[in-house]
Amino acid sequence: MTFPKNAWYVACTPSEIDEKPLGRTVCNEKMVFYRGDENKVAALEDFCPHRAAPLSLGRVCDGKLVCGYHGLAMGCDGKTVSMPGQRVGGFPAIRAFPVVERYGFVWVWPGEAALADAALIPHMEWYANPEWAYGGGLYHIACDYRLMIDNLMDLTHETYVHANSIGQKEIDETPCKTTAEGDLVVTSRFMEGVEPPPFWKLALKGNHLPDDVMVDRWQICRFTPPSNVMIEVGVAPVGSGGYEAPNDKKVYSVVVDFITPETETSIHYFWGMARKFNPNDKALTATVREGQGKIFSEDLEMLEKQQRNISANPDRKLLMLNIDAGGLRSRKVIERLIAQEQPAA
């Protein structure tokens, strides 16, 4: 197994299940998400106990998930409820997954249900907070989820992959620092007196700040398991106080990355940016979201082709540099959690 299962993963957004059931694979588990009794989100294995039809091809009726093959109705607990002209009460229950709707996402626990604790879902300061604005999206990417974690915990690649948006040579030239405490891994880089790249010029304008001045820039990448990376990013005109500058003297955001493994070589990547400046400007939110979406799409081709090379050369050892420390330490946290889930020998 290459991913922890006793953890909360983002499975989908509420809008994806507003009208009909959604079939989605999380950590190799085929699931169906829908709104059941009292409009609450439910998650079952995507498997009708009658003839193995995918329940995601069915419909919801009176809070029950009705199979689209022969009309067998399922309860949110995975037990069969009814079927036209048949007695199905003795059918064995299918698996029901713990699921929680919170912070604008639907979270699922693919592991041992008895261990699921909603208090373990990470707190999102920016959600429903009038000081913040948020915009994001979803990409499906054919790569190992750990490659995306590597990508986000080492932003040196911005100089090359994102040369026309957020990249600049000072990222290469400024050393980064990596620390680890428990399950938290932090990689940070602070650049002083640099020219803001195009995306940050746009952001400065968006907060009514000059975009033709030198700035102090920061990147603080925080990994928490199972596969979440929050990145504090921003710039402030030189002399404003840098990272510690007041909100009206800087542009400060958190890049939100929820990386949900689908299989060993594919992911659902929920990306977004929470912005703590000029939050009521909806046009700016749309512009930032569009810019972020383009930036993340630039990673997609690189990661998928990287995965193809790795899959074709499974025995080749990859070289490690100091810039890889964040990804390596994050992988060690993941490995420890996976080992804890394995039964004792």
Q: What is the pLDDT of residues 87-107, one digit of tens each?
A: 767 778 899 999 999 999 999
How high is the pLDDT of residue 89?
A: 74
- Confidence (pTM): 0.93
* Domain boundaries 9-120, corresponding CATH code: 2.102.10.10
The pLDDT of residue 66 is above 60? yes
State the number of CA atoms in the 13 A half-sphere of 167 facing the CB: 16
Angle 121-122-123 from CA coordinates, rounded to 5°: 115
How high is the pLDDT of residue 294?
A: 86
Angle 16-22-26 from CA coordinates, rounded to 5°: 100
Q: Where are the alpha helices (DSSP H) in the chain?
A: 145-153, 158-161, 169-173, 198-206, 282-312, 325-341
CA distances, 53 to each of 25, 26, 47 (Å): 15, 18, 6
Q: What is the pLDDT of residues 317-344, one digit of tens each?
A: 887 777 788 889 999 999 999 999 988 6
Q: Give φ, ψ of 93 to 5 degrees.
A: -70, 145
Q: What is the pLDDT of residues 117-148, one digit of tens each?
A: 999 999 999 999 999 999 999 999 999 999 99
Percent of the chain with pLDDT over 90: 72
Are 44 and 81 a contacting pair, CB within 8 Å?
no
How high is the pLDDT of residue 164?
A: 67
Residue type (1 letter), 185: V
How high is the pLDDT of residue 322?
A: 74
* Domain boundaries 133-341, corresponding CATH code: 3.90.380.10
How high is the pLDDT of residue 161?
A: 62
Alpha-carbon distance of 57 to 218, in angstroms, equals 46
Sheet architecture: strand order including 105-108 = 9-12, 105-108, 99-102
How high is the pLDDT of residue 162?
A: 64
How high is the pLDDT of residue 165?
A: 67
Q: What is the pLDDT of residues 263-307, one digit of tens each?
A: 999 999 999 999 999 999 999 999 989 988 888 888 888 999 999
Q: What is the pLDDT of residues 231-256, one digit of tens each?
A: 999 999 999 999 999 999 999 999 99
The DSSP 8-state label assigned to residue 115 in this structure reads G
Q: What is the mean pLDDT of residues 41-49?
A: 96
SS3 330: helix
- Indicate where the chain has its CATH 3.90.380.10 domain(s): 133-341
In this structure, what is the dihedral angle of CA atoms 12, 15, 16, 18, given to the nearest 10 degrees?
Answer: 130
Report the number of secondary-structure helices (H) and strands (E) in the chain: 6, 17
Residues 6+ apart with CB under 8 A from 213: 237, 238
Q: What is the pLDDT of residues 14-24, one digit of tens each?
A: 999 988 999 99
Tell me which residue of 275, 337, 14 sits closest to 125, measured CA to CA.
275
Residues 6+ apart with CB under 8 A from 322: none
Q: Is the dihedral of CA 57, 59, 64, 68 positive or negative?
A: negative
Tell me which residue of 96, 78, 144, 114 sits closest to 6, measured CA to CA.
114
Alpha-carbon distance of 11 to 102, in angstroms, equals 11
The DSSP 8-state label assigned to residue 110 in this structure reads -
Q: How confident is the model at residue 70 (pLDDT cuts 50, 70, 90)?
A: confident
Alpha-carbon distance of 301 to 286, in angstroms, equals 24
Percent of the chain with pLDDT over 70: 96
Q: What is the pLDDT of residues 201-227, one digit of tens each?
A: 999 999 999 999 999 999 999 999 999
Alpha-carbon distance of 102 to 345, in angstroms, equals 37
Which residue do the tokens 């590597």 mark? 150
Q: What is the pLDDT of residues 152-195, one digit of tens each?
A: 998 776 655 666 667 677 777 788 899 999 999 999 999 999 99
The pLDDT of residue 59 is above 60? yes
Q: How confident is the model at residue 68 (pLDDT cuts 50, 70, 90)?
A: confident
Report residue 209 as tokens: 């700040």
